[in-house]
Structure 1
């Protein structure tokens, strides 16, 4: 999954234990300009450093996995949690995309069609 938006906030990396670290950040995602969404993402382990090259206010593309889990509280009630776990961050250029449009060479396709069919071909229909 991926979204593009503006980096609103980035937090420091938290060391959960000796072998696990996590970093959170918030992106403003505008699907409907009247109601922009503020999405909190997590980066884990070596991915925590990906956020260093971005400043608050910059546009970026976030590629992420949607993670979900169940937890049962001490009184036996089930709770469900979702996490947006980012694994790639990239800069979005001024046009709103981080890559140019796909380029196809339609001229060579037309030439190939022209070579296959010629004026003197007799078709049975």
Structure 2
């Protein structure tokens, strides 16, 4: 799934716990009638994907939806959801900052070859 918006907040990398788990958060604001402010987490080696971005840039972020269950001390189940980013690209230059996708020329259906004798 992809989310498109303008970077509103770009946080630094946090190191959590004793095992060195790394997390970096970005907030984007969507461009729609009722704009949404969406928090997206990048974890571990994906934190570096945000290094070349700045507040105010228009981006497209590929995400996975994550959900988890937690049972509180009273035995009641609580549920948490998050957006986990795995790719980001700048929209105004179509420059992909990770996992580049090669750009190809659009197929032309007009054949200017006079030796082509196909009827279509």
Q: TM-score range by the shorter chain?
A: 0.7 to 0.9
Structure ranking higher in helix proportion: 1
TM-score by length of 2: 0.79
- CA 1:101/1:79 → structure 2, altered by over 3 Å: closer, same or farther? farther
CA-to-aligned-CA distance 1:78-122 (integer Å, 9 cap, x gap)? 11111100001111016xxx38897221124xx9xx72x59xxxx
Structure 1 segments, 4+ long, off by >6 Å, are: 99-102
Q: Following the alignment from structure 1 to structure 2, what is the Cα–Cα distance between the partners of residues 21 and 59?
A: 25
TM-score by length of 1: 0.76
Number of aligned residue pairs? 109
Instruction: Give the superposition deviation at 1:19.
Output: 3.2
Cross-structure match for 1:7: 7
Q: Which runs of 5+ in 1 are unaligned?
A: 119-125
Q: Which runs of 5+ in 2 are unaligned?
A: 96-102
Greater gyration radius: 1
